[in-house]
Structure 1
């Protein structure tokens, strides 16, 4: 079966991201995450699959430009997270996106605390904010406009992502996962 253009685009993005991720030079050597590229692919698929085609095209262009410029966006993201380099981008779009995604994550964690741990909120915001700093202004604007449109419709991108993740992990839904975790083991 032929893959649709959207699926191909996501696969191209994830390939470039994975190449960058595997090239990150960690202070302690290769990280456990780098030894599990399939987990990386699943998480990045979950991240990108809820965003519009226009975002995917723009972000792919960001990644391709980074390759040309010999930049590793994953290295930059993790360096930002650890405070090893100064903030790269002061766009108000970053603050707005992190704020919306943060509220969505709080909602999902409150509804599904076994599946989406509420105590992971701060690291979620740090991770997302650091990643967004590596995006071009065009990609940020597309992401923000889409997130705002989802918010206006009372949607929740974090919930959509976790629904996708749970199906990829073999659950029917996020609700099914939560119920499965809640059942006592016999």
Structure 2
């Protein structure tokens, strides 16, 4: 059945199924990530993992979800842990000395992919700046915005985004870039939608509700 002929209810069910499959595969890859200091605490917290990842995927349309699910399936066939490589690429900014030792073991990415990542990040960071301005208490408890403020154990939004997006295929990135531009043109802030999803999953009515509860 084509997406054009689906009812809203059918689209919602399809989207939910795609997200469930994505989360299942991402969690599998996440469990295989090895840290130099041993297993990370977040690897033992599937509930928080689902909240943080599902909130993001719910902001995306079906065509991007399908494309990224294909990325995950292909990565498994190739025995590449793209979730592990996501975190490894973050080390280029947060732990450059360690990154220099492992970079040759990471799947290389094309200049086309780097350019797409940088264009998306530039737009997304402006959305994040808007969130910092509107919700300063909430922002004070989040990641720092820019890579210059990275530490080996705590990376910025910018660095996380670059690592995350670099794990997508060029096809998925192109679809996402188109969606980013459409959202921008329509005055939609996807960073806000992501945070709203997190807030609702944690039992809040709105971001304003979260902001009011913070000291």
TM (normalized to structure 2)? 0.80
Cα-to-partner distance string for 1:157-186 (whole Å, 9 max, x where unaligned): 00001111101111100011101214xxxx
1:95 aligns with 2:106: no
Match of 2:4 in 1: none
Task: Choose the corresponding residue for 1:162, options 195, 198, 210.
Answer: 195
The secondary structure found in structure 1 opposite 2:37 is coil
Please give the residue correspondences for 1:1-186 in structure 2 after superposition, counting only pairs within 5 Å. Answer: 4-83=13-92, 84=99, 85=103, 88-90=109-111, 91=113, 92-117=115-140, 120-122=144-146, 123-182=156-215
Cα-to-partner distance string for 1:103-152 (whole Å, 9 max, x where unaligned): 00110111001112376212111011111111111100000000000000
Unmatched runs of 5 consecutive residues or more in structure 1? none
Deviates more, 1:5-14 or 1:114-123: 114-123
Unmatched runs of 5 consecutive residues or more in structure 2? 1-9, 93-98, 147-155
Structure 1 Cα separation of the partners of residues 182 and 203 of structure 2: 30
Count how many residue pairs are aligned between Structure 1 and Structure 2: 181
**Contact 1:89/1:133, CA 8 A, preserved across alignment:** no
Say what the alpha-carbon RMSD is for the aligned residues. Answer: 1.6
**Contact 2:143/2:157, CA 8 A, preserved across alignment:** no
**Contact 2:138/2:211, CA 8 A, preserved across alignment:** yes
Q: CA offset at residue 88 of structure 1?
A: 2.6
**Contact 1:46/1:161, CA 8 A, preserved across alignment:** yes
Structure 1 Cα separation of the partners of residues 143 and 40 of structure 2: 22
The secondary structure found in structure 2 opposite 1:120 is coil
Shift >2 Å, 4+ stretches: 86-91, 116-119
The secondary structure found in structure 1 opposite 2:39 is coil
Q: CA offset at residue 32 of structure 1?
A: 1.1
The secondary structure found in structure 2 opposite 1:160 is helix
Q: CA offset at residue 89 of structure 1?
A: 3.8
The secondary structure found in structure 2 opposite 1:50 is coil
